[in-house]
Amino acid sequence: MSVSKDSIAIDIKDLKKCFKEVKAVDGVSLKVKKGELFSILGPNGAGKTTLVRMLTTVLTPTAGDANINGHSILTGKNEIVKKIGVCPQEITIYEVLRAEENVEFMAIMHGMPRKEAKEKSRKLLEEFGIAGRKDWSKHFSGGMQRRLNLVMALIFEPEILFLDEPTAGLDPQARRLVWDFIRSLKNTDITIILLTHDMVEADALSDRVAIIDQGKIIAEGTPTELKEKYGSDNALEISFLKQEDLELVKNKIENISFVANSSEISHKERKTLIISFQGGLKNLVKLLQQGLINNIDEVENMKFRQNSLEDVFLNLTGRRLRD
């Protein structure tokens, strides 16, 4: 049966998990579309891993239910585990197996013929920059083990992929590699649930984001929607050496509809005009196209501060994502 692009892959209905008095997941309802990259963004202890452990049928909910490609997590465990790939937060590899052996083992367990498993595993390990290592995986660095874990979750081409903090502990280069790979999966039918407390990661990769705090979803939308609704305004800061140059720019922005407000700061010789404006980068370009600056030599410095998901979380909770 062919499934339309907009059909629902994951339907979570009032899911709860309590550990004694701790309400780790406290009534979460969400719908994730097939083929979507959906991030669950929240600080440490927010309930992200607990939520996913229920969706992957590792933990039994205290209350509520969820459907994964039409199967209930309460009754459809056997069907669900065949369709999902999981890259857990804690690295889970067989330490006394080599990289390829770990991956091939995973593939064969999911019923892939040995020859195909070997070929696919070699290709994926190459893409992730860990091919050619012949020693036991317990000798790999943390970053390499994490990449190996990712390959193990991907090898059997799951319909739904759960990634729990996939770039935690990776250096910037390896992080970029994993991001590029996740982006390349976006052109396929695979549905991806990404758990992260990294707002840059959620912003860069997600089609939609749900922000979770203390077991509850407090906001949901595309990164742009969330930033427009709950974020701060973008700001362009222009510093001048002469007050009259600043005044000229100030007059020019007076009637621009998307400029929310402007303020001035003086520091020693330098006079800075801060222009807060709504909308994204498009409006920054529009702003600059207004002929704001006659002569660039008058400008001492210029800075653009972009509204981020960090601002969204701060404005919603009064706390930073990483306190």
Ligand X SMILES: Nc1ncnc2c1ncn2[C@@H]1O[C@H](COP(=O)(O)OP(=O)(O)OP(=O)(O)O)[C@@H](O)[C@H]1O
* Contacting residues toward ligand X, per CB under 6 A: 19, 22, 24, 42, 44-50, 89, 197
Q: Least distance from C-beta 85 to ligand X, angstroms? A: 18
H or E element, residue 287: helix 281-289
Binding residue count for Mg ion, defined by CB under 5 A:
3
34 vs 53 by CB, closer to ligand X = 53
Enumerate the β-bridge partners of residue 210.
40, 220
Q: Which SS3 state, helix, strand or coil, does residue 283 take?
A: helix
Q: Candidates 35-43, 85-93, 95-103, 213-221 — which segment interacts with Mg ion by CB under 5 A?
A: 85-93
35 vs 42 by CB, closer to ligand X = 42
Query: For residues 199 and 42, is the Cβ–Cβ distance under 8 A?
Result: no
Q: Least distance from C-beta 32 to Mg ion, angstroms? A: 18
85 vs 215 by CB, closer to ligand X = 215
Question: What is the DSSP secondary structure assignment for residue 137, as one 8-state letter?
Answer: G
The partner in contact with residue 45, picked from Mg ion, ligand X, none with C-beta cut-offs of 5 to 8 angstroms by kind, is: ligand X
Q: Least distance from C-beta 162 to ligand X, angstroms? A: 12
Q: Is the dihedral of CA 152, 155, 160, 166 positive or negative?
A: positive
Using CB under 5 A as the binding rule, whether residue 214 contacts Mg ion is answered as no
Binding to Mg ion by CB under 5 A, coded x per residue (else -) over 40-59, reads: --------xx----------
Sheet containing 270-277, strands listed edge to edge, beginning at the edge strand earlier in sequence: 259-267, 270-277, 234-240, 299-305
72 vs 89 by CB, closer to ligand X = 89
Q: Least distance from C-beta 25 to ligand X, angstroms? A: 7
| Residue whose entry in the numeric block shows the structure tokens 């969706």 | 55
Q: Which residue stretches of 41-130 are H helix?
A: 48-55, 77-83, 99-109, 114-127
Query: For residues 192 and 102, is the Cβ–Cβ distance under 8 A?
Result: no
Q: Least distance from C-beta 211 to Mg ion, angstroms? A: 15
* Crossing angle of helices 142-154 and 114-127, rounded to 10°: 140
Q: Least distance from C-beta 314 to ligand X, angstroms? A: 17
18 vs 293 by CB, closer to ligand X = 18
62 vs 278 by CB, closer to ligand X = 62
Kindly report the length of the chain.
323
The partner in contact with residue 70, picked from ligand X, Mg ion, none with C-beta cut-offs of 5 to 8 angstroms by kind, is: none
The partner in contact with residue 175, picked from ligand X, Mg ion, none with C-beta cut-offs of 5 to 8 angstroms by kind, is: none
Q: Least distance from C-beta 312 to ligand X, angstroms? A: 17
Between the CA of residue 222 and those of 145, 202, 233, 255, 288, what are the distances in Å? 31, 10, 17, 30, 27
The CB-nearest residue to Mg ion is: 49
Distance, in Å, from the CA atom of 63 to the CA atom of 71, rounded to the nearest integer, reads 17
Q: What angle do CA 110, 195, 89 make, to 5 degrees?
A: 60
Using CB under 5 A as the criterion, which residues of the chain lie in contact with Mg ion when the complex forms?
Answer: 48-49, 89
